């Protein structure tokens, strides 16, 4: 398949899971009605971003795979005849949880899953308390639309993950995300952070000659502890082409469904000119497996 129509659902979330799910479903239906063959949902889209604090009660939100989310969105994929990338808090076993993206095929079946590999632990993003690092590696998921290089949020800052997905034959890179500003930061600092987020992901497109799809949540979610104003998620979902060019972009404040076309044949054309894979010095990269070179 050379031409692919993709949809990204950028939404705000609240404490009512059912209303969040209905927003996701409505976004998928809108994207499908506009011709989308592949629809990507944001990270942990069924609820608030609970990792602002450490609270054992939040583990009650986790679910199994297969489970309620894969059943619901699988049925929707089958009904609409499209591929869906969804995100959930996976309960693998008692005391063992993951931040997991699940790809649902057009017939409603589970095409595959990706468990978030890089887990942050920063003020307002206490994910190490909740999520075990992924153990499925950087492996693309085969679908009827191509090989999807699905990663999750904090993974987007690491060129190694994007490169390994590309080396394994991914046709595009996909990043469901939850990232935002601290409302107390100065405007220029907020802008630098957002610009860095956009730049690093576009660099993955350039370095690997692949389209990049990134979908982020939007809106203010208060800190349950009251220790901070909360997180103002900056939206800015986008699709970039294999030279980092903008194909489609969403705003920073509003819910939005982006639908656009991707020409997958451009990856081959770009890689014939910018042959980064050919010129990699794999004979001298052993130190990349070290934490640091002293």
Task: Give the active site residues.
Answer: 43, 116, 153
Both structure tokens of 167: 């080396």
- Cα–chain-centroid distance for residue 146? 17
Contact call for residues 35 and 20 (beta carbons, < 8 A): no
Q: Which residues contact 256 (CB under 8 A, 6 or more apart)?
A: 10, 218, 235, 237, 250
* Whole-angstrom distance, CA of residue 7 vs CA of residue 273: 29
How big is the chain by its Cα radius of gyration, in Å?
18
């Amino acid at each position: 398949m050379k031409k692919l129509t993709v949809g990204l659902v950028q939404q705000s979330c609240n404490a009512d899971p059912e209303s969040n799910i209905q927003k996701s479903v409505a976004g998928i239906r809108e994207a499908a009605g506009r011709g989308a063959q592949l629809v990507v949902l944001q990270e942990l889209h069924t609820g608030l971003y609970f990792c602002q604090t450490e609270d054992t009660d939040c583990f009650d939100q986790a679910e199994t795979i297969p489970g309620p989310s894969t059943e619901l969105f699988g049925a929707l994929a089958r009904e609409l005849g499209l591929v869906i990338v969804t995100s959930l808090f996976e309960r693998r076993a008692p005391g063992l949880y993951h931040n997991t993206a699940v790809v649902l095929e057009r017939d409603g079946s589970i095409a595959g899953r990706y468990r978030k590999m890089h887990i942050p632990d920063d003020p307002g993003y206490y994910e190490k308390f909740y999520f075990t690092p992924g153990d499925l590696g950087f492996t693309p998921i085969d679908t009827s639309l191509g090989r999807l290089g699905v990663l999750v949020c904090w993974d987007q800052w690491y060129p190694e993950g994007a490169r390994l997905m590309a080396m394994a034959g991914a046709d595009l890179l996909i990043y469901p995300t939850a990232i935002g500003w601290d409302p107390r930061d100065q405007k220029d600092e907020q802008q630098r952070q957002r610009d860095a987020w956009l730049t690093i992901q576009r660099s993955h497109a350039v370095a690997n000659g692949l389209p990049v799809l990134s979908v982020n949540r939007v809106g203010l979610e208060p800190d349950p502890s009251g220790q901070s104003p909360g997180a103002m998620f900056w939206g800015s979902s986008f699709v970039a082409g294999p030279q980092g060019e903008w194909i489609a972009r969403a705003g920073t404040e509003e819910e939005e469904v982006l639908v656009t076309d991707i020409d997958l044949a451009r990856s081959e054309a770009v890689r014939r000119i910018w042959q980064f894979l050919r010129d990699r010095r794999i004979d001298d990269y052993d130190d990349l497996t070290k934490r640091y070179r002293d």
